[in-house]
Amino acid sequence: MTTSPGGSSALYIHLPFCRAKCRYCDFASFPDRAADIPRYLAALSLEMEAHRDKPLETLYVGGGTPTLLEPGQWRSLMSSVRRRFSLSGPCEATVECNPESVTREKLAALSAEGVNRLSFGLQSDRDEFLARLGRLHDVARFREAWALARSLGFSNVNLDLIFGIPGQTLADWKETLDRALEFSPEHVSAYALSVEEGTEFHRRGVKPDSDLQADMYEAAADTLESAGYVHYEISNFARPGFECRHNLRYWRNLPSVGVGVSAASYENGVRRKNTASLDDYLRAVESGRSPAVEEDRLPTDQQKGEDLMLALRLKEGMSLSPEMDRLYGGVLRRYQILGFLTFDPTANTVRPTRLGWRLSNQLFQELLTPSPA
């Protein structure tokens, strides 16, 4: 496992409440359970007790729809974090925002509580595509929420976009990219629509066009790189210096703590994942039991493969140790011949190409099983 500078950690908090389930969403989120928010915040505070006094480098609050919380609830949540974690350093603190639930009062509360990075789920610049996705906001509401964030001084803001929406053409997507750039976000995440089991899209039989999505991926990379964004991870682009520090910790396989429904942690080489049931989570924590339902410690060889797989999501790649070269060198050189990877022989560093990113699933699967030369 990669070590973390100074023993610092990252904290992810999952807030699973939402007003309606998007048609593509396979995250643990529960419409019409807002009445349980106070009980859930108390449970989060109890779960955090197991991680007391850890210094935090990053904090990320996701969902669900975190911006359903009212200002007083944000103050309560952040008070719990401060009681149990050290926030003395320059912590990057991100909150996911849904435009329809953003208000000036909520954003002001976030700012007052030390939140310094926002992530807005725009997804599309066209109301018809937002409706197809099941989003509750329209473009006008997004513009209002964005203007509020900027007026309150938020200067590190991500835009989430989705491509491959049913009925969306390549020309539509290029137009979305151009309009997104008009907002001058510091960071852009561009994701291909994925249809997972259990989602409304899956029940409807929606099947994205993989060839069209490949063209859209190339268009996103070309457009955003030309606009000065660094394509630093498969799906993520940032102005220099605005890379998401929280997600970089995941991709560098550094220690992280996750609290809440379905949240995952990685500490001392062990991965744990909490139950995805809101009721089971509440009962477990309130009775003093761990809400974790999965625990996995990978053998050392597989840990190295996981380190490598995650590193190849990043433009920076990874410097290969002799042991890693012995275990995975053959596979890596085969994919180099295919154009998926490049090698820097001076530093013995392997890095992904854009083609390698676009067609990464096969390579990543092989890296989970060591094949010594």
Give the pLDDT confidence score for residue 346 in this predicted structure: 84
Spans of all domains in the chain: 5-251, 300-367
Distance separating alpha carbons of residues 243 and 221, to the nearest angstrom: 16
Task: Answer yes or no: is pLDDT of 7 > 90.
Answer: no
Give the pLDDT confidence score for residue 326 in this predicted structure: 87
Query: Would you state the torsion angle of the CA atoms of residues 228, 110, 133, 12, taken in this order, to the nearest 10 degrees?
Result: 90
E strands, 245-340, in order: 257-259, 264-267, 270-274, 292-297, 318-319
| 83: exposed, middle or buried (Cβ count in 10 Å: 0-12, 13-18, 19+) | exposed
pLDDT (tens digit per residue) in 131-149: 999 999 999 999 999 999 9
pLDDT (tens digit per residue) in 283-295: 999 999 999 999 9
Of 356, 302, 301, nearest to 332 by C-alpha is 356
Give percent helix, percent strand, percent coil of the chain, each to the nearest 5: 45, 25, 35
Give the pLDDT confidence score for residue 372 in this predicted structure: 59
Q: Which fold has domain 5-251?
A: TIM Barrel (3.20.20)
Give the pLDDT confidence score for residue 269 in this predicted structure: 85
Distance separating alpha carbons of residues 1 and 304, to the nearest angstrom: 7
pLDDT (tens digit per residue) in 176-194: 999 999 999 999 999 999 9
Q: Which residue has the higher pLDDT, 328 or 67?
A: 67
Give the pLDDT confidence score for residue 250 in this predicted structure: 94
